[in-house]
Amino acid sequence: MVEPNESTIDNATICSYISIVSNIERILDTIHKGGILTLRDAEAVLKHWGYVRYSGKGSHQNWKHPERPLILTIATHAKEVPRYITRALRKLMEDA
């Protein structure tokens, strides 16, 4: 995520940045409570944490962090990610 600096700040940039931050905070709260995440939410938080999506087979996405050994595979069959993925994200959040 790119943080705004003095040369690029305008109202649209500030509103966009606030929206992204508040969305990530909402997603992290959902993960912490063990709630249901959408695929889009899971992708957003993984990108926020520095994970990179790389080749997956069929309807699966593989996510890997450049500095961590874990590879996280998410099935994209439904809008919501399975509970075990939410638990894995919570564990990643607690370990970080």
pLDDT at residue number 3: 60
Tell me: the pLDDT tens digits for 74-84? Answer: 988 888 998 89
Provide mean pLDDT across the span 21-47: 88
Task: Write down the pTM of the prediction.
Answer: 0.74
Instruction: Tell me, letter by letter, the H, E, C secondary structure of the chain.
Output: CCCCCCCCCCHHHHHHHHHHHHHHHHHHHHHHHCCCCEHHHHHHHHHHCCCEEECCCCCEEEEECCCCCCEEEEECCCCECCHHHHHHHHHHHHHC
Instruction: Please state the domain extents for the chain.
Output: 11-95
pLDDT of 19 strictly over 70:
no
Provide mean pLDDT across the span 17-26: 73
Q: Of residues 41 and 11, which shows the higher confidence score?
A: 41
CATH: 3.30.920.30, 3.40.718.10, 3.30.1280.10, 3.60.15.10. Which one for 11-95?
Answer: 3.30.920.30
pLDDT at residue number 2: 56
Question: 70 pLDDT band (50/70/90 cuts)?
Answer: confident
